[in-house]
């Protein structure tokens, strides 16, 4: 076995080093995903300029934005509680996050229902709107699935062996989904 093999297969790093490696990996993943979303924002301006369809519901957009921001607060509180060793509180905040995420998804579904009439995907604005909100909604749903899995693991008591990392990772991913919407909301709804 070569020196490189030994290094790659060694699990002798300290928990602190392992945590730093995990975090770096997650941030690199987030960075790579950011490029995809940034590309979509550029496509929006490239195809539509600053045009925004007047029939887009501003009220729905504002409400779901505040709901997603609120879900970031509950996700933050879940991570904080987990780090303090308060699993009961962490589970409660994870459930709140799941609930708010589901409400956000329902809001997007409602928006799509109305948008299909007002500006179907065959129109320029419709194609941009459905692509951007669709890809974001896909990430919201995957985030919800991940948080639900992590919640199940915390409930089973797995956190005693895995530590707080699964909660931290799922919450970081959730915050990333929120950051993406922080840009998508003004780009899709507010700029005219």
Partner 1 sequence: MTDGQTTVEAQETTGMGIGTKVFLILALLTAIEYVIAVAKPTGQIALILVIALAKAALIVIYFMHIGALRKGGHE
Query: Using CB under 8 A as the criterion, which residues of the chain lie in contact with partner 1 when the complex forms?
Result: 16, 19-20, 23-24, 27, 50, 58, 62, 65-66, 69-70, 72-73, 75-77, 80, 83-84, 86, 172, 175-176, 178-179, 182-183, 185-186, 189-192
Structure tokens at 133: 């909100």
Cβ(74)–Cβ(167) below 8 Å? no
Please state the closest distance from residue 4 (CB atom) to partner 1, in A: 25
Helices marked H in 49-191 — which ranges? 58-83, 87-118, 124-156, 159-162, 165-185
Q: Label residues 12-37 b or e (16+ Cβ within 10 Å = b).
A: eeeeeeeeeeeeeebeeeeeeeeeeb
Nearer residue to partner 1 within complex by CB, 1 or 15: 15
Nearer residue to partner 1 within complex by CB, 11 or 50: 50
Nearer residue to partner 1 within complex by CB, 96 or 121: 96
Please state the closest distance from residue 2 (CB atom) to partner 1, in A: 29
Nearer residue to partner 1 within complex by CB, 62 or 145: 62
Cβ(93)–Cβ(31) below 8 Å? no
Please state the closest distance from residue 131 (CB atom) to partner 1, in A: 19
DSSP for residue 54: T
């Amino acid at each position: 076995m070569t020196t490189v093999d030994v290094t790659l297969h060694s699990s002798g790093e300290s928990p602190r080093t392992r945590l730093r490696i995990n975090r770096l990996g997650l941030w690199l993943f987030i960075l790579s995903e950011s490029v995809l979303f940034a590309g979509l924002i550029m496509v929006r301006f490239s195809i539509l300029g600053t045009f925004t369809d007047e029939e887009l519901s501003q009220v729905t957009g504002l409400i779901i934005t505040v709901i997603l921001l609120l879900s970031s607060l509950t996700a933050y509180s879940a991570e904080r509680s987990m780090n303090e060793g308060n699993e009961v509180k962490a589970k409660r905040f994870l459930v709140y996050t799941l609930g708010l995420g589901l409400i956000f998804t329902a809001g997007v579904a409602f928006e799509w229902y109305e948008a299909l009439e007002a500006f179907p995907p065959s129109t320029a604005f419709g194609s941009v709107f459905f692509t951007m909100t669709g890809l974001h909604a896909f990430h919201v749903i995957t985030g919800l699935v991940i948080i639900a899995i992590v919640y199940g693991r915390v409930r089973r008591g797995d956190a005693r062996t895995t530590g707080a990392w699964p909660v931290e990772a799922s919450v970081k991913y959730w915050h990333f989904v929120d950051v993406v919407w922080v840009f998508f909301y003004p780009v899709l709804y507010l700029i005219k």
